[in-house]
Amino acid sequence: MLHIKCPHCGMRSQNEFSYGGDATIKRPELGKEISDQDWDNFVYNRKSLRGKHWELWQHLSGCRQWIKVQRDTATHEIFKTLKANEEIS
């Protein structure tokens, strides 16, 4: 079970969180024209990375905040966590 540092609550067990996918995907702006290919990339196409990956988790049974977590998908090492409004650098 992972141990995730919520930027709001501190170190908590994985079972308080739910996974939310790739954190680097930006939703296209509402009302803007977008090609089929770009839309498909946003909705469906994800890289299944091995290694460092920025991903979203929601602290469901805690503060309910969505957070960004940089995790190694192979080793599960967690390098960094950010609040929703903090930019991935």
Partner 1 sequence: MTQSFRLESGGLINRDKKISFKFNGKNYYGYEGDTLASALIANGVHLIGRSFKYHRPRGFFGAGVDEPYAIVQLYRNGETEPNIKATEQELFEGLEAKSVNCWPSVNFDVGAINNFLKIFLPAGFYYKTFMWPKSFWYKIYEPFIRRAAGLGTASIKHDKERYEHKYEYCDVLITGSGPSGLASAYSAAKNGAKVILTEDKSRFGGTLLTSEVNIGNQSGKEWADSIISELKEMPNVTVKNRSQVFGYYDHNMLVMSERISDHLPKTKKFHPKQRLWYIRAKEVLISSGSIERPIVFGNNDTPGVMLSSAAKEYMKVYGVLVGKKPLIFTNNDSGYETAIEFKKNGIDPIILDTRKEPQSEIIEEAKNMNINIKNSYVVVAAQGYKKVKSADIAKISDNKEELGSIENIECDCICVSGFWTPTIHLASQSGNKTKFNEDIDAFVPGISKQNEKTLGAANGIYTLEETLKDSFEQGNQLSKKITNNENKVSFPNVVEKKSTVHDKFWCVPLPKGKNYKRFLDFQNDVAVSDIEIALKEGYRSIEHVKRYTTLGMATDQGKTSNLNGLQLVSKIENKVVPAVGHTTFRPPYSPVSIGAIVGREVGKHSKPTRKSPMHSWHEKNNAVFVDAGVWLRPRYYKRGEENLFEASKREAKNVRTNVGVCDVTTLGKIDIKGPDAAELLNRVYTNAWLKLPVGKARYGVMLREDGIVMDDGTTTRISENHYHMTTTTAQAASVLSHLEYYLQLVWPELNVNVVSTTEQWAGAAIAGPKSREVLKKLFPKSDVTNEGLPFMGYMEGDLFGVKAKIFRISFSGELAYELNVESDNGYFMWEKIIEAGEEFGIQPYGTEALSTLRIEMGHVAGSELDGRTIPYDNSLEGLLSKKKDFIGKRSLSRKAFAAEDRQKIVGVVPLDKKTSIPEGSHLVKDSNAPLPNPKLGYISASCWSVEHDNPFSLAILKDGRNMIGEKLFVMSPLKNKVIPVEIVSSHYVDPKGERVRS
- Tell me which residues touch partner 1 (CB under 8 A): 1-3, 13, 18, 20, 27-28, 30-31, 34, 36, 39, 42-44, 56, 58, 60, 64-66, 75-76, 78, 84-85
CA distance 77 to 44: 26
Beta strand pairing status for 3-6 and 10-13?
antiparallel
What is the per-residue binding string for Zn ion in 40-79, x denoting contact by CB under 5 A?
A: -------------------x--xx----------------
- Supply the minimum distance, in Å, between the C-beta of residue 1 and Zn ion: 16
Rg (CA), the chain: 14
Q: Phi/psi at 36 (nearest 5 deg)?
A: -55, -45
